[in-house]
Structure 1
Amino acid sequence: MSLARDMELLRQVPLLAEFPDEQMRLLAFSAENVSYRDGEVLFIAGERADAGLVVASGAVLLEGEGEDRQELGSFGPGSLIGETALLVETRRPARAVAVGPTEVIRIRRALFKRMLQEFPEIARRLFEARAGRFRATAGALARVGTVLEQLEREHSAFRESRRAAQNGEGNGGT
């Protein structure tokens, strides 16, 4: 792949979209292009994750482990697989398989972390974007928590009314 094509593709990834041109060029130049054949395994569940993969062409199927190999999703060009692996030491949560001839841009965590250290303005932007996502998630979870608390109160009231009705019926017959 050409450097210009890699840069254009990396710009499609929300995590990387705000990189200034100079830093994007450096990231694209330093990343590794890897090709896979149809059906080839990119990684397995539980494997140490030391890089994020941006799908350049083809597709990557993520599937659960085990006998049924449940499909978790299919990801095409512009998709980032392993965003967390760019930031922290982690393990792969699923198995990834190439669907058709597939090319990915492999961004090692060490490279990504070095970019953040050398260009603190990028780190600040990423931090702010992640903080916004966490706030949105926390807000959504708070709403879910409120609904679950209401359901628990209603269920408790229902159980109490059933218990009272059963006690009333049992005492009235003696």
Structure 2
Amino acid sequence: MALDDDMALLARQPLLSLMERDALRLLAFAAESRILRAGDVLFRAGEPSDGAFLVVSGAVALTAQDDGQPASEIAGPGAMIGELALFTSVPRQVTAIAREPTQIMRLPRSVMRRVLGESPDSADAIAQAIGDRLRGFVEELVSVRAALGAIDRK
């Protein structure tokens, strides 16, 4: 794939779309492309994370259980898997297995840190967006707490 095509794929991601063009170019240049065969395991639940994956083509089954149950989610073209791992180390919450021949783009956290370190405006925009997401999450938790409190009072 051409660098411009990779940049366009990355720019479709809500957080990454906030990055300046030069920063996005650096991220796209450093991204690692990989082809998976059907049944290949990308990662398993509980493994440490070191970055995110973007599905370029194909499909990846995501499941929290390794018990043969159907996948809880299917990530298709354009889906970002493990976005939080771009910014911090967290154990993988699911097992990711290619359902068919699949091309992925690996985005290492070390590269993201380097790119954001060289692009403070991009870093600020992403930090603001993550802060907005966290505030929204807290508001949802407050609503749930209030609803549960109302149930308990009945």
Identity over the aligned pairs, expressed in percent? 38
Contact 1:64 1:70 in 2 (8 A): no
Larger radius of gyration: 1
TM-aligned CA deviation for residue 40 of structure 1: 1.0
Match of 2:18 in 1: 18
Q: Where does structure 1 lack aligned partners over 5 or more consecutive residues?
A: 155-174
Report the number of matched residues.
Answer: 154
RMSD (Å) for aligned C-alpha atoms: 1.2
Match of 1:88 in 2: 88
Q: Where does structure 2 lack aligned partners over 5 or more consecutive residues?
A: none
Q: Distance in 2 between matches of 1:10 and 1:17?
A: 7
TM-aligned CA deviation for residue 70 of structure 1: 4.6
TM-aligned CA deviation for residue 67 of structure 1: 2.2
Q: Distance in 2 between matches of 1:85 and 1:60?
A: 17
Q: Distance in 2 between matches of 1:74 and 1:66?
A: 15
Which structure: greater helix fraction? 1
- Where does structure 1 differ by over 3 angstroms across 4 or more consecutive aligned residues? none
Residue 80 of structure 1 aligns with an amino acid whose one-letter code is: M
TM-aligned CA deviation for residue 66 of structure 1: 3.4
Could you state the TM-score of these two structures normalised by the residue count of structure 1?
Answer: 0.84
TM-aligned CA deviation for residue 143 of structure 1: 1.1
Residue 36 of structure 1 aligns with an amino acid whose one-letter code is: L
1:32-60: CA deviations, max 9, x gaps? Answer: 00110111111111111101001111111
Match of 2:4 in 1: 4
Contact 2:19 2:125 in 1 (8 A): no
